[in-house]
Structure 1
């Protein structure tokens, strides 16, 4: 038999789930970033997060973990497909409002129809993602130079963030104020936010999160349309990866949208190699 446990405090959840997540930092890169932010840069006015662990009720051993910071999807990387049934049952009782999940494709493919059937909702695919890990970094020869952003650059970072969200995450638009707060939070958390400049003009940006359990994930990466087709995104990403390695990362990761072959090609050309496929889905109320 199995049991679930819910937590009100991130520290209590982390005390139980830390070993699970840190054992495979690439697989759990999203969850690790979320936990790092909750611990080191909490937002007092944020919606209450959801933390849950699955256990063997005889031995008490940990079988899985999941977390969510609304309005973001629940991160399912700590759940196995065979834990979906129990997780669905317990979430249905405690958090029936759950409207989106993200995780390894096999887990999402198991969870989505189960949750949809239990809640009488329909599944709406949001993103098909591929997780990449850096092999040997190949630094492209591109005009310009990299510099690290500071708080003086927050307006620029916010402009790029809003534009990136509009193109890549149209289902979850970002306001300028929210984007500025998000960029400020990343800098506060120690991220390396790279600005690629040509003759002093910013032409691309790329953010590398501060390493967690040895892993740093890059994103967002954005180049305004007027500056595309010059290799600037590759150059900014390579500079962000170099920063991550110098900051102590043993793994540098990023997600790509499989619907965007251009970005997938760019990252592979500078040394990123596929690890696994992930998916994000939403659950819509019947109309």
Structure 2
């Protein structure tokens, strides 16, 4: 496939005009791209970083969209599944456009294919920094035991707590902090996307976050209990609303 089949739209409206039907055709597989696109649409082009986002659409010879690229610096590129030939074409297209590639988030074979093609094209080296898994909730089973307390939706008074727990969650899981913690807290508070479990005296002890609904999908993330408070069943009892 020739590199010219990868198009790099200038803005979100153009990207979604071309790619939204493709993304919504498999919403579970494309949930991250859908969610980030929705955040950019509702909160503006800098919702996920200090630099403007970048977009890519791959079309086959007969016209339909086959894959997409979404990049919100400083995060890695977010790619839908690609075969090695399409990954090589993307590497060539990005190199020709002189775009910086800090990393890539994709399913394993796609990430490996792009990294190989990018290394061949630019001489850069690549290494795996993390692996993630997306779980689908089939049936909700209530926990066997219920700790004392109650669940409540976090409000503005919890802003500093949410920011601190966001930082601690990243440290405990070996993740990277790619967003200002207070901005992250604000984004969750804006749509009621953080549920806290609090003890009978009103002390928050656990967090379950959720992202806004997109194409019928809602992602639960993060779920966090500080280390000293784990083992009491708090997280199991603080589901998102």
* TM-score normalised according to structure 2 size: 0.90
Distance 1:67 1:191, change over 3 A: farther
SS in 2 for 1:127: coil
Query: In structure 1, which of residues 24, 29, 32 is the aligned counterpart of residue 31 of structure 2?
Result: 29
Could you tell me which residue of structure 2 aligns to residue 56 of structure 1?
Answer: 60
How many equivalent pairs are there?
Answer: 234
What is the match of residue 68 of structure 1? 71
Of residues 165, 170, 176 in structure 1, which corresponds to 2:170?
Answer: 165
Task: Quote the offset at 1:174 in angstroms.
Answer: 5.9
**1:192 corresponds to 2:193:** yes
Q: CA deviation at 1:192?
A: 2.6
Q: Which residue of 2 aligns with 1:156?
A: 161
Q: Distance in 1 between matches of 2:194 and 2:77?
A: 26
Which structure shows the higher strand fraction? 1
> Distance in 2 between the 1:92 and 1:108 partners?
17
SS in 2 for 1:115: helix
Q: Distance in 1 between matches of 2:112 and 2:125?
A: 13
Q: CA deviation at 1:75?
A: 0.7
Does the C-alpha gap of structure 1 residues 162 and 15 become closer, same or farther in structure 2, counting only changes over 3 Å? same
- Mapped to 1, the partners of 2:33 and 2:227 lie a distance apart of 31
The answer (yes or no) to whether the contact 1:21–1:78 under 8 Å persists in 2 is no
The answer (yes or no) to whether the contact 1:22–1:213 under 8 Å persists in 2 is yes
1:90 aligned residue (81, 90, 93):
93
Residue 95 of structure 1 deviates from its aligned partner by: 4.1
1:259-270 matches, cutoff 5 A? none
Which 4+ stretches in 1 moved above 3 angstroms? 78-82
Structure-2 separation of matches of 1:26 and 1:158: 28
- Quote the offset at 1:81 in angstroms: 4.2
Q: What's 1:278 paired with?
A: none
CA distance in 1, matches of 2:21, 2:83: 16
Task: Kindly report the root-mean-square deviation, in angstroms, between the aligned alpha carbons of the 2 structures.
Answer: 1.9
Give the corresponding residue for 2:104. 101
